[in-house]
Amino acid sequence: MSMELFEKGIEIAVVGYSIVFAALVILVFVFINLAKVLEYQARKRCEKAGKIQCSEVDEFSVNGEVAAAISLALHMHFGEMHDKESGKLTMKRVSKRYTPWNSKIYNVMNRL
């Protein structure tokens, strides 16, 4: 009986790993071709709008240096939106016995 369970476990593991691997391969192909699909759609929209010259020029593609500069600028812009905090925590001891945070434990233990 344990040999049957072992064989079923191996079978389930192989099927699971192959499903995950197939999903990762599909995602790789999707992300590789995503830029091409978006560029094709932008060219079609440009042609529909009547701008024939923009579909002939290669203005839709952005090289890596431009994308890096844009992403760095966005990172710096959104990083400046937060306040600078000191990182110090101050804690005050509260001497009250009853608080909303510990009211459930008093109801469970009936020690009021």
54 — pLDDT class (breaks 50, 70, 90): low
What's the mean per-residue pLDDT of the chain?
Answer: 78
pTM: 0.44
Q: Is residue 76 part of a domain?
A: yes
Does residue 97 lie in a domain region?
no
Q: Within 13 Å, how many C-alpha atoms sit on residue 60's CB side?
A: 18
The SS3 assignment for 58 reads coil
Give the mean model confidence (pLDDT) for residues 19-48.
88
Query: With contact defined as beta carbons under 8 Å apart, do 54 and 46 qualify?
Result: yes
Looking at the domain assignment, is residue 106 inside a domain? no
Q: Which residues neighbour 54 within 8 Å (Cβ) at sequence distance 6 or greater? A: 43, 46
| Domain count of the fold of the chain | 1
User: The domain containing residue 73 runs over which residues?
Assistant: 2-83
